[in-house]
Structure 1
C-alpha cells in the first residue's frame, strides 16, 4: 500500500470506540473480554435540534443522505415521504446526515432541519466509510426517542412503497419480534474485501473472518424494535467496520437474530410495471424523475391489477 493510500484510509476509518465485555463465547474464537464497540455518546450533538417523533408509531423510516444531497431529500419529501390524506397507519421518515467540512453546506443542513424538522444530524464526519456510524446513530436515537414497532433503513436514491409497507406490517406480517428482512447477498458476494484501494476495504484486524455472515443489502432492510435493541447491545461490544450493511449482519448474528430473505426489496431499478407496486416495498437507484414516476405507479396500483392475487408474505 502506498503512503498516500494508507493515510487516506486511516483518516477515513477512525471509528469512535469504547471498551466493553461480551458475556459469552464468540464464534470468532475465544471469549472476547475486551472487544471494542461503538461509542454511542460521541455520535450525538448537544447543540442541534433533533427531529420530533411521536412515540409508538407503526413505522419509522431512516434514510441515509449525504449533506450535499438536498435535491434527493426534496424529491423524497414530495413523493413517497408525503402523506397522501388521512391514514390509519402512523409512520414518518427521517434523514440521517453527518458533519460536512464545507461550512456553507453545514449551514444549509441546519437551515433545512429548521424548515422541515426531518434531519437527524450526527457528530461524525459524513464520509462513505462512516456510514456505519450514521446508521448506528439513527438506530440509537430511534430506540431511545421514538420506539416505533418497526424501523426501515434505506438510502436517498431508493423508493419506498409507503402506500403498501405500513399496511403490510400491520395486517400481514406474522413476524412481530426478531424481524430482520431484506434482499440478501449470495455467499460469493459476502467475501471480505482486503484490497486497500477499495472503498469496501476491511482489514483483518477490524474483522478477521474472510466471509461475512448472511446480511441484507443496505438499499433497504426492515427491523422490529426488539431486533434494533439487540443489535445496539451487540454494537457496544463488537468492533465496527466501514461496511454498514455487513456490520448490521454481524451484529444480528451475534444477537441470535436470523435474517430473512425477501424479494420485496429490489437492488436494481428496471422498468417495473404498475402491478409490481402491489408487491415491491423498496426499489434501488432512482433518479429524481424516476422517483416521481414511481410515486404515480404506487398510487395507480391502489385501484389497478385487482385481478391479480395479493401476496401477503415476505417472499
Structure 2
C-alpha cells in the first residue's frame, strides 16, 4: 500500500471513529483503543466467513430479487424453530404490502448435522421459498457469522429499500413499521434500534452473554443496539459488510455489529424506543398499544407468543390500506 493510500485510509478510519459517541474510562475516550484492538493484524488468521465471506447457500430464496421490495424483514432463526417461523408466516409475515409498499420476510439459518432437521428445512424452503441456509454450524457462538451472512446474501441476492433485522421470537406490527419509515425516511449510514447505555461486559463464565477479556479487554462497553430488532438501510449494511473484512470477530453479535462494525463504517445508531411496546409484567397486552406501536420488546422472554394472538384484529383494522 502506498503512503498516500495508507494516509487516506488512516484519515477515513480516524474520522469514522471520531464520529462515534465517546466512551470514557477515567476521563479518557477509549473509542480509538477499541477500534485499534479489533483491527486485524497482518499476521492474524482471517475467519473464513466473517472476514473472507466464503458463504455458500444450500437453500436460497428469491423473495426480493426483482427490486420491487420496499421492506425486507430478515429473521435470524434456529433450524429447529419451525413453530416460530410458522407463527411469523401466519401473522405479520403474511402482510405482502401496505400503502403500496411491498414487504417480504426471509429466514436466515445455518448448517445442521441432523438429516431429519434438514429434511424439514428443505420442505419449508420448497413450500414457502423464504429460507436461506448457510454453510457453517448453526450455534450461538456463530451468530456473528450468520449476521454477516445476511449482509452477504442481501448484497448479492436482494434489492430492497429498507432492512428490518429480527430475532424469530420478536413480534412486529408491519403497518406501523411502514408508517414509521414513511414519516422518518431513514437515509445513508443509519441504524435505528433500542440503544443500551454504557454497561460493563459480562465476565461471569456461566452467563449466556459471557465476554472474555481476550475477546474484549476493556472495562466498559460503548452504547450498543440490543440485537432483537433494528431498522437500517442498504448503505449501512454494505458499509458494515465491507469493514468486516478487516476486523477481528467476537461472539456477541449485537456488540460486534453495533459497536465494532458500526464504529468502523461510520454508521450512526438512533434509539427507536418511541415505536417499541414493552412486555408488561402481567403479560396482558392492550390491543390499542400493540396497534399503535411497531415492535414488542420482550427482553426476558416472559410474553413469548402472547402478542401474536392479537394479529387478526391488527390486520383487520389496517387491511383497508
Counterpart Cα distance in 1 of 2:52 and 2:308: 34
Does structure 1 retain, via aligned residues, the 8 Å contact 2:60–2:130?
no
Does structure 1 retain, via aligned residues, the 8 Å contact 2:79–2:112?
yes
Does structure 2 retain, via aligned residues, the 8 Å contact 1:91–1:166?
no
Aligned-pair distance for 1:55?
Answer: 4.0
Q: Which has the higher helix share?
A: 2
* Residue 26 of structure 2: aligned partner: none
Structure 1: gaps spanning 5 or more residues: 1-20, 304-315
* Residue 295 of structure 2: aligned partner: 282
Q: 1:142 to 1:265 in 2, by over 3 A?
A: farther
Aligned-pair distance for 1:78?
Answer: 0.7
Q: 1:173 to 1:125 in 2, by over 3 A?
A: same
* Residue 154 of structure 1: aligned partner: 166
Residue 141 of structure 2 corresponds to residue 129 of structure 1? yes
- For 1:133, what is the secondary structure of its paired residue? helix
Cα deviation digits, residues 203-245 of structure 1 (max 9, x gap): 2332232333222111110111101111111211111211111
* TM-score with structure 1 setting the length: 0.79
Structure 2: gaps spanning 5 or more residues: 1-5, 15-31
- CA RMSD after TM alignment: 2.6
Does structure 1 retain, via aligned residues, the 8 Å contact 2:224–2:258?
yes
Aligned-pair distance for 1:141?
Answer: 0.6
Q: 1:138 to 1:267 in 2, by over 3 A?
A: farther
Does structure 1 retain, via aligned residues, the 8 Å contact 2:97–2:103?
no
Counterpart Cα distance in 1 of 2:278 and 2:141: 20
* Residue 99 of structure 1: aligned partner: 111
- Pairs aligned (count): 278
Aligned-pair distance for 1:23?
Answer: 3.6
* Residue 10 of structure 1: aligned partner: none
Aligned-pair distance for 1:182?
Answer: 1.0
Cα deviation digits, residues 172-229 of structure 1 (max 9, x gap): 11432222011111223xx222333322222233223233322211111011110111
Counterpart Cα distance in 2 of 1:261 and 1:241: 23
Counterpart Cα distance in 1 of 2:187 and 2:98: 25
* Residue 17 of structure 2: aligned partner: none
Does structure 2 retain, via aligned residues, the 8 Å contact 1:89–1:167?
no
* Residue 261 of structure 1: aligned partner: 271
* Residue 273 of structure 1: aligned partner: 286
Q: 1:49 to 1:174 in 2, by over 3 A?
A: closer
Q: 1:184 to 1:112 in 2, by over 3 A?
A: same
* Residue 21 of structure 2: aligned partner: none
* Residue 291 of structure 1: aligned partner: 308
Residue 90 of structure 2 corresponds to residue 78 of structure 1? yes
Does structure 1 retain, via aligned residues, the 8 Å contact 2:79–2:138?
yes
The 5 A counterparts of 1:154-233 are 154-169=166-181, 171-188=182-199, 191-233=200-242
Residue 286 of structure 2 corresponds to residue 240 of structure 1? no
* Residue 132 of structure 2: aligned partner: 120
Does structure 1 retain, via aligned residues, the 8 Å contact 2:112–2:137?
yes
Counterpart Cα distance in 2 of 1:86 and 1:218: 26
Counterpart Cα distance in 2 of 1:84 and 1:141: 21
Counterpart Cα distance in 2 of 1:85 and 1:224: 19
* TM-score with structure 2 setting the length: 0.77
Counterpart Cα distance in 1 of 2:61 and 2:315: 31
Does structure 2 retain, via aligned residues, the 8 Å contact 1:98–1:123?
yes
